Amino acid sequence: MAKKELKMRAVVAPTETVIVSAYDKDGKADACTLAFYMVSSHVPPCVTIGINATQKRKTLKDMLETKAFVLGFPSINQVKETDYLGVESGYQTDKLVNIGFTTSPAETVYAPIINELALSLECEIVHTVTIGSHMQVTGEVKRIIADETILNERGRVVLEKLQPIIYDEEEGIYLGVGGKVSDAFRTGIALKKYLEDEKRG
Ligand SMILES: Cc1cc2nc3c(=O)[nH]c(=O)nc-3n(C[C@H](O)[C@H](O)[C@H](O)COP(=O)(O)O)c2cc1C
């Protein structure tokens, strides 16, 4: 198939859209939308977010002062609020109040949980490193709090119930999650076994 070389950029589509929230030193909550988010460790559970350190980001300043943040997962019915939190700055106005989002203090770290989000991870900052324009902030997950309505009987998050917002940087749009394509691991293990059997003859 013919290939084309693309303009230089870090292609990050698709990513799950998250909302990171923090208190400033006066105890005021701010939050911003992020697409640079990844799971960075299973044990201990850690997540890493990337925030542009070359531009003024109030949430970044706040979280570095308090050494904590909450990572929240918005649903597709909150796409307007999510986009707004990514185009306005807490330096200009009280974004959370403007959109009617309320907060409660996290139990394990000094950071605000956004009550309206169905899934939130309370995180203590354990590492930062700046790569190019972005500071990578790694938080160790200290507590996970979720609406019962998004859980299955085993207490696991069901994506089809959470309905996360997928951000497509290539086209500048938000998408929902499609249906199941395959079982994870089992599909690869079946192919691995097949290839090994083939080799053995
Ligand atoms: C879909 C979307 C994704 C974004 N992803 C990031 C990101 O990963 N890193 C970042 O630094 N800013 C990102 N932003 C921009 C910030 O959310 C934005 O600059 C925000 O106004 C910062 O607010 P604050 O000053 O209150 O912290 C994103 C915005 C949108 C709409």
Q: Please list every protein residue whose CB sits less than 6 Å from any atom of ligand 1.
A: 17, 30, 32-36, 50-52, 57-59, 83, 86-91, 167
| CA of 61 relative to ligand 1 center, distance in Å | 13
pLDDT over threshold 90, residue 12: no
Residue 10 pLDDT level (bands cut at 50, 70, 90): confident
pLDDT of 139 > 90? The answer is yes
| pLDDT class of 21 with cuts at 50, 70, 90 | very high
What is the 150 CA–ligand 1 centroid distance (Å)? Answer: 26
CA of 85 to the centre of ligand 1 (A): 7
H/E stretch holding 60: helix 58-66
**pLDDT at 57 > cutoff 80:** yes
d(CA 177, CA 109): 31
For the CA of 95, the nearest atom of ligand 1: 26
> What pLDDT digit, counting tens, does each position of 58-73 carry?
999 999 999 999 999 9
Measured torsion, CA atoms of residues 93, 95, 96, 98, in degrees rounded to the nearest 10: 80
User: How far is Cα 194 from Cα 201, in angstroms, rounded to an integer?
Assistant: 11
Nearest alpha carbon, ligand 1 atom 31: 86
Name the CATH superfamily for 15-200: Electron Transport, Fmn-binding Protein; Chain A (2.30.110.10)
pLDDT at res. 13: 76
Mean residue pLDDT across the chain? 96
Q: What is the pLDDT of residue 11?
A: 80
Pick the residue whose CA is nearest to atom 17 on ligand 1. Answer: 86
Q: How far is the CA of 35 from the centre of ligand 1 (A)?
A: 8
